[in-house]
């Protein structure tokens, strides 16, 4: 019930924000998603807002039933960005560099930092993106909504905003790394409070201040602006007892990913918990299996175990997007499939981290043609059916369908968010892109083009920092 409701609500709000942007840019979208541009007489939109100066892009959140206090804090967000002056120059890793190169690198680094602080965004295809960083998702309300929808989706599948068992008690001081809108901190605060644990402080760190002031929603919240590629981070050793790193893989190049984990470990206290949630940027296809359904009966998503096998995506548009995303990641030294790397990275530090555990899940993007015996979908109202001699639950509930549809919508919205890079790697001009986009929408939404098994892979990993004596 809840997830279906949340999905419909959020998607409506995302649609509203998108329509505002389209109107500004003179884009007319057909139902199947094709776009045409008409000359616009209005001034270009501010890179710091998703709507025109006349529109109120934040109205979307004002009525959010899931975030009652979000209204005012989000309202002030674009104003805060306009006024933003960041912290001082970041530290430079100058290890083993000759003096002159060190000075040059420091000057270059400082100039880059200053530029990022004074004008952090540049507009591409009408949306604001971070300048001078490898991160290639936009920083507007449409994208923040998409990320929040992903957070809700993960929480539906993992049943809570945290997977770690907290065997030595719930945490008191939490760090959300790459916090974006801070939506995870806000839901985690609610979750801990529902467990009777009120006295928890949350700190969010991000390269840009996208989060509202969660204090207005009753969260003990601090925001620290910092580029996570610069070490050390501005936190004390052992300062936090729980760190969440959620969906930041597109911000951290491969060559510093282990250093990134080390820094998480440094600021984590003994017996503290480090948790990572990620999703793959390249989509694969679940292979039809000959056993009874391997899905989790509550969510009808597929826990990733050795029994579950995958193929490359079959849908031609997903194949295209996969290939362009892979090229974009390769050029920026970012991981296209981060889920395959997290466990290894956490296991690199056996002297410091132990009890590494995980949950990984594949969420199909629609009902799959092979999920039912004989390939025939059971009629509505049927509760169970026989598959290979076993009786299994069959008809999806509204919640279960909403999980898949939400996954599909966040995939489509991500492709839309990646438009500038995907256009670049596809070599398509605006017209060709519009035609590709329309055909993709039609394939994915009207023709059920992902029924052979394309899925979104998500994962949660958690581990504990050893005590020095252990």
Ligand X SMILES: C[S@@+](CC[C@H](N)C(=O)[O-])C[C@H]1O[C@@H](n2cnc3c(N)ncnc32)[C@H](O)[C@@H]1O
Say how far apart CA 102 and CA 234 lie, in whole Å.
Answer: 22
For ligand X, give the closer residue by CB, 18 or 229.
229
In whole angstroms, the minimum distance from the beta carbon of 120 to ligand X comes to 9
For ligand X, give the closer residue by CB, 212 or 293.
212
Which pair of structure tokens corresponds to residue 110? 């400082």
Examine residue 67 and tell whether it contacts ligand X (CB under 6 A).
Answer: no
Examine residue 133 and tell whether it contacts ligand X (CB under 6 A).
Answer: yes
| Binding range to ligand X, per CB under 6 A, among 6-14, 206-214, 342-350, 383-391 | 206-214
Say how far apart CA 134 and CA 122 lie, in whole Å.
Answer: 13
In whole angstroms, the minimum distance from the beta carbon of 250 to ligand X comes to 6
- Using CB atoms, what's the residue nearest to ligand X? 251
Quick one: which of 47, 212, 251, 396 contacts ligand X (CB under 6 A)? 251
Examine residue 128 and tell whether it contacts ligand X (CB under 6 A).
Answer: no
Examine residue 135 and tell whether it contacts ligand X (CB under 6 A).
Answer: yes
Examine residue 246 and tell whether it contacts ligand X (CB under 6 A).
Answer: yes
For ligand X, give the closer residue by CB, 184 or 372.
184
Examine residue 328 and tell whether it contacts ligand X (CB under 6 A).
Answer: no
For ligand X, give the closer residue by CB, 149 or 440.
149
Examine residue 147 and tell whether it contacts ligand X (CB under 6 A).
Answer: yes
In whole angstroms, the minimum distance from the beta carbon of 370 to ligand X comes to 32
Long-range CB contacts (within 8 A, 24+) of 200-203: 200/170, 200/171, 200/172, 200/173, 200/174, 201/172, 201/173, 201/174, 202/174, 202/175, 202/176, 203/173, 203/174, 203/175, 203/176, 203/235, 203/240
For ligand X, give the closer residue by CB, 146 or 300.
146
Q: How many residues interact with ligand X (rule CB under 6 A)?
A: 21
Q: Which DSSP letter does residue 70 get?
A: H
The SS3 assignment for 239 reads coil
- What does the angle CA 332 – CA 177 – CA 469 come to, to the nearest 5 degrees? 115
Examine residue 210 and tell whether it contacts ligand X (CB under 6 A).
Answer: yes
Quick one: which of 140, 155, 156, 227 contacts ligand X (CB under 6 A)? 227
| Binding range to ligand X, per CB under 6 A, among 32-40, 42-50, 202-210, 431-439 | 202-210
In whole angstroms, the minimum distance from the beta carbon of 99 to ligand X comes to 27
CB 13 within 8 A of CB 145: yes
| Binding range to ligand X, per CB under 6 A, among 38-46, 51-59, 224-232, 453-461 | 224-232
Examine residue 137 and tell whether it contacts ligand X (CB under 6 A).
Answer: yes
For ligand X, give the closer residue by CB, 247 or 454.
247
Examine residue 211 and tell whether it contacts ligand X (CB under 6 A).
Answer: no
- How far apart are the two ends of the chain, measured CA to CA in Å? 46
Residue 318: closest CA among 434, 440, 428, 447: 440
Burial zone of 380 (CB within 10 Å; 0-12 exposed, 13-18 middle, 19+ buried) = exposed
Helix (H) or strand (E) holding 226: none
Quick one: which of 33, 57, 126, 180 contacts ligand X (CB under 6 A)? 180
Helix (H) or strand (E) holding 246: strand 240-246
- DSSP secondary structure string, 454-469? EEEEEEEEEEEEPPTT
Long-range CB contacts (within 8 A, 24+) of 37-44: 37/430, 44/123, 44/126
CB 345 within 8 A of CB 278: no
For ligand X, give the closer residue by CB, 24 or 155.
155
Examine residue 207 and tell whether it contacts ligand X (CB under 6 A).
Answer: yes
For ligand X, give the closer residue by CB, 247 or 416.
247
CB 166 within 8 A of CB 195: no
Examine residue 228 and tell whether it contacts ligand X (CB under 6 A).
Answer: yes
Examine residue 183 and tell whether it contacts ligand X (CB under 6 A).
Answer: yes
Examine residue 151 and tell whether it contacts ligand X (CB under 6 A).
Answer: yes
Binding site for ligand X (CB under 6 A): 133, 135, 137, 147, 151, 178-180, 183-184, 206-208, 210, 227-229, 246-248, 251
């Amino acid at each position: 019930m809840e997830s279906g409701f949340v999905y419909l609500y959020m998607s409506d709000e995302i649609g509203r924000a998108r329509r505002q942007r389209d109107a500004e840019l003179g884009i007319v979208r057909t139902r199947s998603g094709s776009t045409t541009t008409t000359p616009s007489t209005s001034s270009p939109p501010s890179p710091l807002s998703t709507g025109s100066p006349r529109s109120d892009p934040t109205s979307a959140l004002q009525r959010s039933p899931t975030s009652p206090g979000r209204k005012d804090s989000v309202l002030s967000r674009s104003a805060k960005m306009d006024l933003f002056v960041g912290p001082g120059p970041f530290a430079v890793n100058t290890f083993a560099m000759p003096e002159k190169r060190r000075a040059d690198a420091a000057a270059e680094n400082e100039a880059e930092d200053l530029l990022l602080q004074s004008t952090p965004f540049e507009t591409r295809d009408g949306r604001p993106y971070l300048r001078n960083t490898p991160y290639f998702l936009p920083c507007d309300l449409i994208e923040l909504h998409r990320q929040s929808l992903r957070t809700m989706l993960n929480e539906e599948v993992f049943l809570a905003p945290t997977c770690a068992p907290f065997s030595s008690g719930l945490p008191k001081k939490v760090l959300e790394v790459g916090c974006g809108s801070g939506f995870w901190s806000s839901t985690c605060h609610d979750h801990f409070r529902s467990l009777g644990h009120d006295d928890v402080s949350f700190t969010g760190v991000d390269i840009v201040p996208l989060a509202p002031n969660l204090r207005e929603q009753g969260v003990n919240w601090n925001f620290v602006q910092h580029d996570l590629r610069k070490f050390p981070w501005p936190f004390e050793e052992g300062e936090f007892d729980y760190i969440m790193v959620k969906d930041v893989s597109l911000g951290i190049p491969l060559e510093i990913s282990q250093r990134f984990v080390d820094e998480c470990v440094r600021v984590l206290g003994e017996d503290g918990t480090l948790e990572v949630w990620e999703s793959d940027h390249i989509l694969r296809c679940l292979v039809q299996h000959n056993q009874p359904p391997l899905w989790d009966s509550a969510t009808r998503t597929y826990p990733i175990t050795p029994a579950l096998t995958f193929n490359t995506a079959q849908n031609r548009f997903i194949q295209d997007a996969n290939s362009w995303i892979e090229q974009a990641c390769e050029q920026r030294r970012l991981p296209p499939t981060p889920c395959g790397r997290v466990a290894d990275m956490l296991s690199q530090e056996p002297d410091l981290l132990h009890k590494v555990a995980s949950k990984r899940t594949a969420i199909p993007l629609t009902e799959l043609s092979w999920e039912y015996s004989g390939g025939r979908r059971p009629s509505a109202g049927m509760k169970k059916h026989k598959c290979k001699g076993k009786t299994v639950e069959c008809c999806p509930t509204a919640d279960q369908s909403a999980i898949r549809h939400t996954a599909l919508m966040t995939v489509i919205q991500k492709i839309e968010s990646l438009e500038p890079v995907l256009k670049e790697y596809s070599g398509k001009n605006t017209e060709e892109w519009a035609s590709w986009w329309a055909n993709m929408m039609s394939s994915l939404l009207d023709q059920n083009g992902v029924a052979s098994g394309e899925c979104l892979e998500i994962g949660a990993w958690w581990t504990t920092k050893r005590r020095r004596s252990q």
